[in-house]
Structure 1
Amino acid sequence: MPWWFFRRRSRGSLSAARAADLAQPSSGWLPGEVALPRLQGSRRYLQEQPYLLPKDLGEVNRLDFQHYILRAILRGNYLAPIKQPRRILDVGCGTGQWAFELAQQFPQAEVIGLDLEQVKPSVSPPPNYRFVQGDILQGLPFESNSFDFVHQRLLVGAIPLAAWPGVVQELARVTAPGGWAELLEVGTALQDYLPSGPATQEINRLGAQLAALRGLDTESIVLRSLGRYLEEAGLVNIRYQPFSVPLGEWGGRIGSLMALDLREACKAISAPIAARFGRSEQAILQLIDQAYQEWSEFHTEWHFAVAYGQKPLTR
């Protein structure tokens, strides 16, 4: 099996994506409502954000690792048909690796990465890259119609479900007429990890309970609503592309790497899960390792999707 193997699911129409969204949004998250400790074990978490994953060196390494996997799956850094953008914005830029590569690909463009913190300040970025500290939940600190390409990915664990329509509207606001906005997200519901074994089902249940306490999506509503969010934000020429990615050695190199990435992401929230539900962290780590073995045994696939749309030239 080739190392870049992945299976493309059937292309979903916008109406199909809308029909799949049957659940009602949950309430949003308020700062301090279910605060994670800033330090738990060896990991560092943000207290005043709904974001579940840690902000530390271990997560920096995982995010860079994940970036290269996603680039291999998509065979590039984006799917939108951008040409020669003058300004590019990456919202929730994380380590900045995606934005660095776009800055190198488009040296004539100004590339801005926005996030809560600059997690790799020691890295020398390309000269046309700039970091801006900000919080998408508080709005973007940019003028309307500012960017030819606006990119956001894997923030389903950071943005409360109720906030998603407004967030995408804000992305569309700063997109220039004729420019593109692109979203990439993963499934959070158990049906997006199929087939699944008992350990996978249990760790998904515990993680979903923790996420629900913070208003985050636990039913893959975001994954199936990306196209609708873009449409409601006024974008056109919308494309919605779901993918199924193998987890485990059965899926070749991509399957092995994605399984490692997901295992590390689960371990990153093992301490909060243990603390919240009165279990030992060692028991949670053992459960994660059992799930990791199941993915190869059951030939589990993980679903995610990319959606992009264009801002009309006249509105």
Structure 2
Amino acid sequence: MGNITSHAKYKRLSSIKKLPEFDHIESEQERQEKLMDYFFSNDNNSIDRFHMLHFLRAYIFQSNFSSPIEDKLIEGGCKVINIGCGPGTWLLDLSNKYRNSYFFGIDVEPIFPKEIKPNNLEFIEADIINGLSFRDNEFDFTHIDLFRVIYSTDQWDFILSELIRVTKPGGYIEVTSRRKEHITEGPIFSKLANAVWTACQKLNLDIELVDNLFSKFESQPNMGNVHLIEKNMIIGPRGGKIGLIAQELALSYLNADPLTKFASEELGISEEEYKNMVEKDLVEELKEKNTEYTHVRFWSQKQLSLNNDS
């Protein structure tokens, strides 16, 4: 799979080095605090959820990315990095399609495949908050998924600077996420969502991150115009087949550990009562009421010079 000769050549030219792994942290408790638990469990159900989310987004946007980079990917030699790659679904999809380009996935947890993958794809266990172990101006396309990358508000200025640093002049940075606010929602969903966001705030996570990061990109002197694409969808049977997939994702997310623990404590109910609210009350509500939310992509091009706006 992949172009073995060109990949070997690239490996010799690359400046990649692995950052210290989380296994080097002294205690498991410190490790879990560092990860902030991600609000996800890392069992097979969690990995399946990330796969489903990838294909859901590809369907609603009718593409895997929105930046105008495809011609360069097809031409070959294009270098792509995905921050918060999870199990690597997005990268596996792209690296199989664009065999003459090179792809790298970064995540703090090694739930990505280590053996069975195309030769033009590498995964690295690392934390962006420690700095990316790549040269300046290394990548043609830098992609970050905010669904997977969860940090506190005061860490995002550094993360943004790293995204910009490793992107080539003329290269693109693309951000994928969804908005915190729901266009419409029933009372059960609203109660659950508010509990989740309150728990996030207590962990000092930026719950307004999509809007805040968009504004930060717009204020960067070395970035061009920021292009925003939004797609709305209804969760549940009222949204058709894709809505049922979104419902399955939402239920899997809400039932995940340690989110169940955080949210049930926030609501002042037992974990059993919380699960009953998710699996019965919410499911019934989604049959009767529209719960609509927004997936977001925005992208910008790093300028060739401060006077060249893209």
TM-score (norm 1): 0.79
Is 1:104 matched up with 2:96?
yes
Gaps of 5+ in 1: 1-36, 39-44
Letter in 2 for 1:306: R
**1:6-58 C-alpha deviation (Å, 9 max, x unpaired):** xxxxxxxxxxxxxxxxxxxxxxxxxxxxxxx97xxxxxx93322332223322
Q: Which residue of structure 2 aligns with residue 12 of structure 1?
A: none
In 2, Cα distance between equivalents of 1:309 and 1:296: 39
TM superposition shift of 1:157: 6.5
Q: Which residue of structure 2 aligns with residue 288 of structure 1?
A: 278
Letter in 2 for 1:67: H
1:47 to 33, 40, 48: 33
SS of 2:124's partner is strand
Whether the aligned pair in 2 keeps the contact of 1:103 and 1:129 (CA below 8 Å) is yes
Is 1:309 matched up with 2:295?
no
TM superposition shift of 1:84: 1.2
Higher helix share: 2
80-89 or 142-151: bigger deviation:
80-89
TM superposition shift of 1:277: 5.9
1:299 to 282, 287, 290: 290
2:199 to 210, 216, 229: 210
RMSD over aligned CA atoms reads 2.1
Letter in 2 for 1:295: L
Whether the aligned pair in 2 keeps the contact of 1:156 and 1:222 (CA below 8 Å) is no
In 2, Cα distance between equivalents of 1:124 and 1:197: 43
Whether the aligned pair in 2 keeps the contact of 1:89 and 1:147 (CA below 8 Å) is yes
In 2, Cα distance between equivalents of 1:186 and 1:292: 21
In 1, Cα distance between equivalents of 2:183 and 2:149: 20
TM superposition shift of 1:257: 0.7
TM superposition shift of 1:156: 7.0
In 2, Cα distance between equivalents of 1:274 and 1:238: 38
In 1, Cα distance between equivalents of 2:211 and 2:136: 27
**1:152-193 C-alpha deviation (Å, 9 max, x unpaired):** 1134761223322332221111111111000011122xxx22
Whether the aligned pair in 2 keeps the contact of 1:169 and 1:230 (CA below 8 Å) is no
Whether the aligned pair in 2 keeps the contact of 1:245 and 1:255 (CA below 8 Å) is yes
SS of 2:276's partner is helix
Gaps of 5+ in 2: 1-27
Is 1:72 matched up with 2:59?
yes
Letter in 1 for 2:57: L
Whether the aligned pair in 1 keeps the contact of 2:56 and 2:242 (CA below 8 Å) is yes
In 2, Cα distance between equivalents of 1:266 and 1:151: 26
In 2, Cα distance between equivalents of 1:197 and 1:167: 35
Is 1:183 matched up with 2:175?
yes
TM-score (norm 2): 0.80
Whether the aligned pair in 1 keeps the contact of 2:228 and 2:297 (CA below 8 Å) is yes
Whether the aligned pair in 2 keeps the contact of 1:144 and 1:174 (CA below 8 Å) is yes
**1:201-248 C-alpha deviation (Å, 9 max, x unpaired):** 211121122111111133xx2222343222233310320122211111
Moved >6 Å (runs of 4+): none
Return the structure number with greater relative CO, CA threshold 8 A, min gap 6. Answer: 1
Q: Which residue of structure 2 aligns with residue 91 of structure 1?
A: 83
In 2, Cα distance between equivalents of 1:256 and 1:299: 12
Q: Identical aligned pairs, as a percentage?
A: 24
**Rg bigger for which structure?**
2
